[in-house]
Copies of this chain bind each other. A is one copy, B any other.
Amino acid sequence: MSKVDLLGRRNFIKGMGAAAGVAIASPAMAVSEKADGVKWDKEVEVLIIGSGFAGLAAAIEATRKGAKDVHIFEKMSYFGGNSAINGGLFAAPGTPMQKKEGVEDSVDRMVADQLKSGRGIADEALLRHVASHAVEALQMTIDAGAEFHPYLQQLGGHSVARTYQTTVSCGAGITQPLYKECKKLGVHTHNRSKFEGFLVGAKGEVVGVKMRQNYHFGEDQPGKVVNIRAKRGVIMATGGFAQNVDLRMAQDPTLTSEVGCTNAPGATGEGMYEMFRLGAIPVHLAHIQSGPWASPDEGGFGYVSNYSIYNFPHSMAINRLTGKRFMNEIADRKTRADAELACRDEQGNPLPPILITSYKDSKKHPNTKKVIKYNVGWKFDTIEELAKHFEVPLKPLKAQIEEYNSYVKSGEDKQFGKNMTKAKDKYIEAPFTVVRLWPKVHYCQGGVQVNTKAEVKDSFTGKPIPGLYAAGEVCGGIHGVSRLGSCSIPECMVMGMTAARSIMKA
C-alpha cells in the first residue's frame, strides 16, 4: 500500500465513527460490517465502483438491460481510471478488419494463444467466455464513438494479427466515448468517491457500501462517509494494485519503488483486499506482469511503449554487450521481460537493450516524431554512429543485421522462431530509429476469483457471495502466469457487461 493511501486509511478509521454514525472499525477487523441497523444515506439500483473499461461497460449494459438508476463511483477526480492511460489495444477474433486483411482467426485460436502464455494455469472457461464476446464488446466501443486505426497489429504471443488500436493510441480513446455514452444513457457518475467497505446483510449478501464523498487522493482523508444501499448489488471494477509498492513487494521483493510502473496512481488495490476480507479467494497474486516495451528514458507508459509495440514485428532487439539479438521480438510479455532483465554488463548491472528499426518503417507510427523530439529515441544515419552511441560492438552487430535480413527475405527466423509475416519486405537498413528497452510493472494477473457470470466465489462455501460481482483487473486467474497484450480491454469490457447481465437477472 502506498504511503499516501496508508495514511488515508488510518485517518478514515479514526474519523469514520463520528462521520457516519456506525461502529468504529479497527484496522485488523474486517472493515466491512453488518448492515443491520445502519442508517442508509442513499439508495441506488446498481452500484458500480471504478470508472475504467469494466465499470463503464457494466453501466452501459445494465442500463440497456433495463436498469433505471445506475451509479458509478470513482475515487479519483477524473474518470477512466488506469484504463485511460494504456495503449488502447483491443484483441478480438473474427472481426471485420481481419476479414478485410485476410487473417484467419477464431475464438479457439485466440484462447489457444492465451493458454500458452498462461503457462498451464490460465482459466480456460473465462478466456473462452471473453473471446466469445469480444466482438460484441468491440462493437459497444464503436457504437459509443471510439475510433480505431484502419489496420490490425500482431502483438507478442498472438499467432495472428487481431489487435485494433484507437486512433489516439490510448485507452482514453475508449473510456471517453464510453463515459459520454453513460451520461447520454442517464448513468449517474460520482468522482472523488472512495469505497470504504461493504455493508452485509443477514444472509451474508452484499447490500451496500460505505462511501467517502469529496475524497482527495493523496491528501489526508476529508469528506463524509455515507452508507449507500445497492438494491440489486455491487459491481467491483476497481482495477489492479501495481501502484501499491508494499503489496507488490509482498509478492515480488524485487518490485521496489525504484522499479518503473506504467499505471495510474490510483491502482492501489483496496477494493481487492476488501473482497478478501469478505471471503473472496485470492488467485495468482504472485504473477505481476512487466511490460517489455517500456523505456528507461521516460516515466510511466510514455511515448516509447506504443512506439515499440507497433515496431517490434519489423525490428531487431539487440543486447548491447554482444551486439546480437537475444529474444523473439514478438514473444509473449513475460518471455521478453525476462530476456531484457537478463541484459547486463560484465559487472551484472542493468544494460538496457536497444530496439533497432528502419526509420522508413518506424515513421509510419505517430509516436516516432515525439520519441525523437523528446530525446527518448534517436535517429542514426549509419550503423557506425549507432554502434558508437550505444557502445555496441560493431562487427557482430553488422553481422546480426545481415543475418536478420536474410530471415526477412526467407520468412523464417532461424535464431528465435519469430513469426516474420509482419516483417515482410521490411529490411533493417539505414537510417535507423532506436529506443532503449527496460520492463516496467504494468499489470496484475492476480485478484479475486470469479466465474463466467462475474460472480465472486467465497473461500468457505465455494459459492458466489450474493450481491457481489467483479470485473476487470481486480479479478485473478483468467490469464495465468502472463497475460497477452491487448487482451485486457476485451476482458474488462466483456466481464463488465457480464456482471451487468448477471446483476439484472439476480
Contacts and interface: CB of A to CB of B under 8 A. Distances in A.
A350 interface: no
Contact of A286 (B24, B203, B273, B287): B287
A252 B458 contact: no
Interface in A1-48: 1, 6, 9-10, 24, 26-32, 34
A279 interface: yes
A26 to B, nearest CB: 3
Nearest to A33: B29
Given A250-B449, A460-B9, A205 B283 contact: no
A434 interface: no
A436 to B, nearest CB: 23
Interface in A436-462: 446, 449, 457-462
Given A460-B270, A461-B10, A462-B6, A29 B283 contact: no
A100 interface: no
Given A279-B28, A282-B285, A462 B1 contact: yes
Given A252-B121, A285-B283, A465 B28 contact: yes
Contacts of A251: 121, 283-284
Copies of this chain per assembly: 2
Contacts of A287: 286
Nearest to A6: B462
A30 B200 CA distance: 10
Nearest to A273: B459
Interface string A259-282: 000000000001001001111011
Interface string A107-122: 0000000000000111
Given A1-B460, A285-B282, A254 B121 contact: yes
A235 to B, nearest CB: 16
Contacts of A201: 26
A132 to B, nearest CB: 19
A506 interface: no
Given A121-B254, A285-B286, A449-B250, A26 B202 contact: yes
A477 interface: yes
Contact of A461 (B9, B123, B283): B9
Given A121-B253, A460-B1, A460-B273, A26 B203 contact: yes
Contact of A278 (B30, B254, B446, B465): B30
A463 interface: yes
A204 interface: yes
**Which among A203, A250, A254, A461 has the greatest number of chain B C-beta atoms within 10 A?**
A250
Interface of A, secondary structure class, is loop
Contacts of A458: 27-28
Nearest to A205: B28
Nearest to A272: B459
Nearest to A252: B121
B30 A277 contact: yes
A279 B30 CA distance: 7
Contacts of A32: 29-30
Contacts of A30: 29-30, 32, 277-279
Interface string A196-239: 00001111111000000000000000000000000000000000
A124 interface: yes
28 contacts: A1-B462, A9-B461, A26-B203, A26-B204, A27-B460, A27-B465, A28-B203, A28-B278, A28-B279, A28-B466, A29-B32, A29-B34, A30-B30, A120-B254, A121-B252, A121-B253, A121-B254, A121-B286, A122-B253, A250-B281, A250-B283, A250-B477, A270-B460, A282-B282, A284-B285, A284-B286, A285-B285, A286-B286
Please list the 5 inter-chain residue pairs (A to B) with the smallest Cβ-Cβ separation, ordered nearest first. A26-B204, A28-B204, A282-B282, A28-B465, A30-B30
